[in-house]
Chains A and B, each alone.
Chain A
Amino acid sequence: MNLTLYVWRQKNPGEKGRMNCYDAGNITADMSFLEMLDVVNEELVKKRIEPIAFDHDCREGICGACSQVINGIAHGPEAATTVCQLHMRRFTDGDAIYIEPWRSRAFPVIKDLIVDRSALDRLIQAGGYVSVSTGGAPEANATLLPKEEAEEAMDAAECIGCGACVAACPNSSAMLFVSAKIAHLASLPQGRVESASRVRSMVEAMDRQGFGSCSNHYECQAVCPKGVDVKNIARMNREYMKALFKAMG
């Protein structure tokens, strides 16, 4: 198939970007979206045009590096699918495709489709862990954990940290990302000990890093490639309220 691409090009954070138009010819249905971009880039290099920069690594939907808004949707038209797992059989000959970077105040553009997502790392650094040092852990089976709770923790822990939730949110909120970590750890006996301090410091960090608030649009859930549920946000709010009461004594 032959496609027309409109791609966000921006040389560096300081320069103004714009949408450029490129032809993508000889694209087959078996290609992944990123392989289609590889083919386009190979042609650009041969024409001595600088290739389109985009983040990608594992190309199997788990590292969370890929991050493109395709036709207005973070990660593109297929539900529960990262850009790298999106395949061209979803498109038809003659389609025009618009490709943009994640848009958020907290994610400044570095170049073309690449943004700086280190704010997400800083959220985890603020408390997204169990404060256990190496060594001295008790026997793993000493603490029982009902299967249902383990599954719940795992559902939340599936988050790949891609940031699509932020990109899709009209407020650039990172609530789904943060709540997934809060819920993952709060579902486990090992994580419960620090629940109150964790939720407070992560929520504060969220404001500090320039993310907005949640106003229940649920766009985040709609684009999440791992199907992380907005009920985690409710859980986080509950944990946060509990923490506030606890702080008040």
Chain B
Amino acid sequence: MILDGKIPAGPLPEKWDRHRREMKLVNPANKQKFSIIVVGTGLAGASAAASLAELGYRVDAFCYQDSARRAHSIAAQGGINAAKNYPNDGDTVHRLFHDTIKGGDFRSREANVYRLAQISNQIIDQCVAQGVPFAREYSGLLANRSFGGAQVSRTFFARGQTGQQLLLGAYQALSRQVHLGNVKLFQRTEMLELALVDGIARGIVVRDLVTGEIRAHSADAVILATGGYSNLFNLSTNAMGCNVTAAFRAFQKGAYFANPCFTQIHPTCIPATGEWQSKLTLMSESLRNDGRVWVPLKRDDRRSPELIPDNERDYYLERKYPSFGNLAPRDISSRAAKEVCDAGRGVGASGQAVYLDFSASIERFGEGLIRERYGNLFEMYEKITGENAYRAPMRIYPAPHYTMGGLWVDYNLMSNIPGLFVLGEANFSDHGANRLGASALMQGLADGYFIIPYTIADYLAGITPGLVESSHEAFRKAVEDAGERTRKLLSIRGKKTIHDFHRELGEIMWNYCGMARNEKGLKKALELIPDLREEFWRDVSVPGGAEELNQSLEKAGRVADFLEFAETVCHDALHRNESCGGHFREEFQTGEGEACRDDENFSYVAAWEFRGNGAKPELHKEPLLYDNVRQSVRSYK
């Protein structure tokens, strides 16, 4: 089936305005008749829930954390992009659009990305009005910094805690609506099922994580803003609780999953040190503004870094990509790090690390300025490693960080299931095969503050409110399914821990579907995953009971879903016989080891339809047409 993205007609810069003019509205007095469920309270979820409630809709918002303020957007460090062009360095909406499309290796929709760039400026205005304390210049004007994949300074930031400050802005807007009685907030509540009635999304089934109660909530529309699935790799920079469950349930109920193999491996993370490692910590990409990445020229050079003279160091990013240097995009930087480590030139005890060296910047600008820019990151590095990065270079290595893939949505951010909308990282829409730094925050807030309030009205205006109640048969069945699954997990009482399985799955995915992939490895993964899944359902040990707070049960459910979902990712990676962005297939590279894209055959969104557990999903395509940019070879040389 060829999918229709419902892109509005007209010239690119006019599409969104024209669409807003043409979409239907819901009368102010009628808005309170409509109820909307929002799952997830990160940037996309919180901003959507707050904005919709402000408009007068009745909103139920859900998160698994003990507070909406703790959603993982909080951990984003570096910044948020906007085309304000405050530094007068040549930025425009079109340039932000073009950088994002190019950064995504020409695998995202022109119309979506253009709209994102247009909205970017409004987001900054909105956040400042909310009291987000962005960094300022001495003039009192807002400050900007540079980020990977761009040659202009367009990133707004609040120290190294931009995600935190933006999320608190959205959380506070949401709190205001809770106070006004327009939002009902359900914290420590996890979505376990999506409920459809006659093929239309009508609600969700959740588990109260404190009491264990499984219950249904009905609504006129359901919004998923449930984040990404990097924890598929076990070790990632995501929070421990991040999971694919909500999106996977929607997938099982018929929502298409788009480009699942487009996963981002972030180049600058603190390397793993042992088997007990529970997560990997990101060091903001902004560090690459002042840090130089290098490894020794010689293999197995075990000298400590200060003993290696400059002419025996390989500043490989500067060497390979002179015009972008250390600010080469994430996918390219990560792969380059893997390449030098695979060649035996990695550093540290494991040989799986490269240096990020600030000595030149410290010499040039003084330690004070570096401390002002990155003080909290250097502190974090020292807490974790016990090392002082003002004295010796940091050791970094790539780690799974973000997933560009997600549920398929049209231009209105609605999935192929009517009434099911997907926002933020959970959808696939804007980043193609690779996301640029400081663009995730932009997308989450664009979706929540400025897109969904318009597009959901267009949907709601065409339906009758309150048609289905949670007592409907479809909900009873969904509640039963969720309860049955829980009982099954608790009844196995096997010998292996949940973490054992998660670790094994992570290893399979990292080895065969990580930074570099090939046909043989992916086929191997597709053999290993079903065996591991079968073993899980036979031998996992899930302690505790169903009707209580049970963190083991929560984790078991999430790992079980990763075990199902992993194959879809591998199928997608195997079918895409090209290299683009974060998806690097070893068979498709140039003589210099650069990605070889195949626009003739793969210039489409791969949207997968669920065909049963363990069965190969069915591929649908949405062709990607480029009328405004040329699909050039992406060069950062």
The answer to the question of A3 belonging to the interface, with a C-beta cut-off of 8 Å to chain B, is no
The distance from the CB of A170 to the nearest CB of chain B, in whole angstroms, is 24
In angstroms, Cα B168 to Cα A104, docked, is 24
A45 touches B543 (CB 8 A): yes
Please classify how large the interface on chain A is, using the bins under 10, 10 to 19, 20 to 34, 35 or more.
35 or more
Contact of A190 with B75 at beta-carbon distance under 8 Å, contacts A125-B179, A128-B172, A158-B161 already known: no
The answer to the question of A243 belonging to the interface, with a C-beta cut-off of 8 Å to chain B, is no
Contact pick for B551, options A51, A120, A134, CB 8 Å: A51
A132 neighbours in B (Cβ, 8 Å):
126, 129-130, 173
B497 touches A42 (CB 8 A): yes
A137 touches B70 (CB 8 A): no
Contact of A63 with B75 at beta-carbon distance under 8 Å, contacts A129-B175, A137-B126 already known: yes
The answer to the question of B386 belonging to the interface, with a C-beta cut-off of 8 Å to chain A, is yes
B168 touches A28 (CB 8 A): no
The answer to the question of B29 belonging to the interface, with a C-beta cut-off of 8 Å to chain A, is no
B499 touches A121 (CB 8 A): no
The answer to the question of B365 belonging to the interface, with a C-beta cut-off of 8 Å to chain A, is no
B274 touches A58 (CB 8 A): no
B140 touches A59 (CB 8 A): no
In angstroms, Cα B241 to Cα A65, docked, is 11
In angstroms, Cα B16 to Cα A63, docked, is 35
Contact pick for A190, options B84, B128, B185, CB 8 Å: B128
Q: Closest residue to A78 on the B side, CB-wise? A: B383
A125 neighbours in B (Cβ, 8 Å):
175-176, 178-179
In angstroms, Cα B395 to Cα A30, docked, is 15
B131 touches A161 (CB 8 A): no
The answer to the question of B616 belonging to the interface, with a C-beta cut-off of 8 Å to chain A, is no
Which one, B61-69, B286-294, B296-304, is touching chain A? B61-69
B75 neighbours in A (Cβ, 8 Å):
58, 60, 62-63
The distance from the CB of A26 to the nearest CB of chain B, in whole angstroms, is 9
B140 touches A145 (CB 8 A): yes
The answer to the question of B268 belonging to the interface, with a C-beta cut-off of 8 Å to chain A, is no
The distance from the CB of A106 to the nearest CB of chain B, in whole angstroms, is 14
In angstroms, Cα B124 to Cα A59, docked, is 28
B499 touches A63 (CB 8 A): no
Q: Closest residue to A190 on the B side, CB-wise? A: B131
In angstroms, Cα B133 to Cα A182, docked, is 14
The answer to the question of B511 belonging to the interface, with a C-beta cut-off of 8 Å to chain A, is no
Which of B128, B137, B175 has the most chain A CB within a 10 Å cutoff?
Answer: B128
Contact pick for B543, options A48, A56, A154, A161, CB 8 Å: A48
The answer to the question of B615 belonging to the interface, with a C-beta cut-off of 8 Å to chain A, is no
In angstroms, Cα B137 to Cα A35, docked, is 40
The distance from the CB of B439 to the nearest CB of chain A, in whole angstroms, is 18
The answer to the question of A133 belonging to the interface, with a C-beta cut-off of 8 Å to chain B, is yes
The answer to the question of B74 belonging to the interface, with a C-beta cut-off of 8 Å to chain A, is yes
Contact pick for B66, options A42, A81, A117, CB 8 Å: A117
**How many residues of chain B are within 8 Å of chain A by beta carbon?**
77
B131 touches A184 (CB 8 A): yes
The distance from the CB of A237 to the nearest CB of chain B, in whole angstroms, is 21
The answer to the question of B106 belonging to the interface, with a C-beta cut-off of 8 Å to chain A, is no
A140 touches B84 (CB 8 A): yes
Question: Which residues of chain B from 203 to 229 have a CB within 8 Å of any chain A CB?
Answer: 210
A64 neighbours in B (Cβ, 8 Å):
67, 69-70, 74
Q: Closest residue to A28 on the B side, CB-wise? A: B274
A48 neighbours in B (Cβ, 8 Å):
541, 543
A31 touches B276 (CB 8 A): yes
In angstroms, Cα B159 to Cα A59, docked, is 19
Contact pick for B552, options A45, A59, A146, CB 8 Å: A45
Contact pick for B176, options A45, A131, A144, CB 8 Å: A131
In angstroms, Cα B211 to Cα A12, docked, is 10
A11 neighbours in B (Cβ, 8 Å):
548
The distance from the CB of A102 to the nearest CB of chain B, in whole angstroms, is 12
Q: Closest residue to A64 on the B side, CB-wise? A: B70
A141 touches B158 (CB 8 A): no
Contact pick for A185, options B131, B164, B171, B386, CB 8 Å: B131
B67 touches A129 (CB 8 A): no
Contact of A63 with B84 at beta-carbon distance under 8 Å, contacts A51-B552, A125-B178 already known: no
**Interface readout for B225-253 with A: 1 if CB under 8 Å, 0 if not?**
00000000000000111000000000000
In angstroms, Cα B499 to Cα A191, docked, is 46
- A-B CB proximity, top 7 nearest: A144-B140, A129-B172, A137-B129, A153-B133, A137-B125, A150-B136, A134-B51
11 CB < 8 A contacts A-B: A35-B277, A42-B499, A51-B552, A58-B72, A63-B74, A63-B75, A81-B383, A124-B175, A132-B126, A144-B140, A190-B129
Q: Give 8 new A-B contacts, CB below 8 A, not counting A114-B549, A118-B66, A125-B178.
A: A35-B277, A38-B276, A51-B543, A58-B75, A58-B239, A59-B281, A63-B72, A132-B126
Q: Which residues of A contact B (CB under 8 A)?
A: 11-12, 28-32, 34-35, 38-39, 42, 45-46, 48-51, 53, 55-65, 78, 81, 85-87, 89, 110-111, 114, 116-118, 120-121, 124-135, 137-141, 143-147, 150, 153-154, 157-158, 160-161, 184-185, 187-188, 190-191
